[in-house]
Structure 1
Amino acid sequence: MKEVLITSGTSFEGYEIVDYGTYKFTQTILNSNFLKDLGTSIADIATDRRDVYQEKIDEILNETIKNFKEMVGESNYNAVVGFTTGVEVYTNNVTAVVASGTLVSITPVYKSEFEKSNFIRKELYVRNYYDLLVPRASKVVLVSEGKGTKVSVWFNNYNNDDILALKAELQFTNIYGDNITLPDVDFTFDKTNLNLLKSDFVECKLPDRYIKLISSAKVYIKKYVKSSGVYEIDADSIGIEMSESKFRALKVKKGIDAVANYKSDGLVWTCNCGHVNEGGSEECTICGRKQDDMKNSITFNYEPMVEEMKTKEYVIEIKDVLMKYIKDIDASLRMQLLEIMESGINYEKTRGSMKDSVIEKVENLFLGL
């Protein structure tokens, strides 16, 4: 059933009335024996019985309102103004609970983008991490309603520790390559012992309009507090060198904390969380991911082919490189690779060089992104 809005007033905030319908009412007749029990006044009834009668009346009132909404839902209207409820006494001790109002059609009031522009929200994946079993900053959320900026950081909490607070330095880079740093920001958490901790929003000295210019974020953790004490991180963070599109694809495919693609040389293997584990380890000692779950079923070593592709200028030349290797490539990928090449060749006719885009798509295909 469609949603029906109801008000005792004459209008709805954020909506305009585009059509007025008729005045309607519904009623629920009360059992006559029920009314006889009431006597002259509810106030004269013992307290325990009065509560029972009140509950009964409330139940009937809610049922009447529900019936009224269903009636409106079956009409061509989607709202009611001047809505009222009450008890009507008819002859022969017949009493009814009545709901009434005027049916109207409403539509949301158009709000221009200019009017909406005072609210800004930006989410950024964090571009650095610590290769330690500590809270991992994964995402920064910035919001503003035109009256100052607030920031929240999401942390992966691999041990489900009771993290109470955390002090960090935030570094933002804008689209011009300029940096701005927020030192010693204290974050607290409404809920702890969760695998993903979302900090409370904190006011920060960041200009409202600067949010739109920010292109990346890094979080340097100074200290964090658990019920067992205060802990400092005595290690350098590791920066993430990966294109934005590939980085986002990795997050979507492998999890919000993912910072690297799985790889193994038999002696050691790199987990999606970035930690390098011994070859015999079945699961990562940092995040707990299982190696078997990350292994790619693709057997072809694509890296030499991609390196050769990077020496070419145009997609038609990149396709020639692909054709040299295609007989060794897993059959399940051949058609997709050829489609990438044909699409790149066609776009290159009108948009100029598509080399970087095509090579990135080839890499993502082999990486399972």
Structure 2
Amino acid sequence: MLKIIMSQHDSIRAVEWKDNHLVLLDQRKLPHNEQFIALYSADDTAEAIRNMVVRGAPAIGIAAAYAVVMAARKSYKQYPQDWRQRLLAEIETLKNSRPTAINLMWALNRMCLAAEQIQGDPEYPLLELAKKIHQDDIDANYHMGELGSALIAPSHGVLTHCNTGSLATGGYGTALGVIRSAYSNGKIEHVYADETRPWWQGSRLTAWELAKDKIPAHLLCDGAAAHLMKLGKVSWVIVGSDRIAANGDVANKIGTYSLAVNARYHGVKFMVVAPTSTIDLATLCGNDIPIEERPQDEVLNVSNQRIAAHHTQAWNPAFDVTPASLVDALVTEKGVIENPTAEKIAALMAS
């Protein structure tokens, strides 16, 4: 049974297993409509990941783990002697749904390794592993929340980008988990959240989470962040990550890199909060991280209403890479690395 922890500032779960299927809170509909979607297959889950029904690296990995359970059930029922081979094709579909988020590959690889050891019906043991991946993420987020909060001296504000809360994870959140913990501990009084164009994760999701859990916040245009720092309104920028290279370079939602550059110039600390499943030791540096490019229409339109002139083209990278040299602290469930380097990351991962 999945253990659910709910603190004063933690009331949201976006990924759930119910009876024999996966249920996702449709993040495309927020903040105006809290609509849940029931999924019964790996193909449907891959489509949901691709279309941003579920997003955020940890949440994508958890959803994919549950999708493997459904795929294995179908394969075993139809091909009991050859279910593993049939399962591989569905896992490949899941892997291709979003290429940058390493947690997706990490979760699928864990499920694959477990499947190789199973004799007989795979559904129950794979479901137990998927639930463990889910619960471990929630537990890790609470621990990272406390570790990150400990780095923050009592101040008046922090800035965050994209959405890194309960909606992006199994629950509680990575960067937003640190913010939740710091607010509960009296470390921060106010949160500033970037809108995060073009999918508006800050406007639609982070602001919604903060309001729902009664944490005071202001929304700002992405381009206003440097001015906010200049005015001394924030002491930390706190973000998550979709993939961290072996040398500490960080791939995260587009706009993160410019925040890091501005933070360094203005003397504002820059914190990355991510589970170790986000660290990819096989990727040596940020230049080797594949950057997903999404459709032009996401930039040219807002809510299906075109805002750009006709015949205008758009460039729409979903992520950028922040060099490790701009990161003051990397917070993981295994501990905190200040000023991350390849050597420090290797030591952490070996611990």
TM-score normalised by structure 1 residue count = 0.20
Bigger helix share: 2
TM-score normalised by structure 2 residue count = 0.21
Bigger strand share: 1
Larger RCO of the pair (alpha carbons < 8 Å, separation 6+): 2
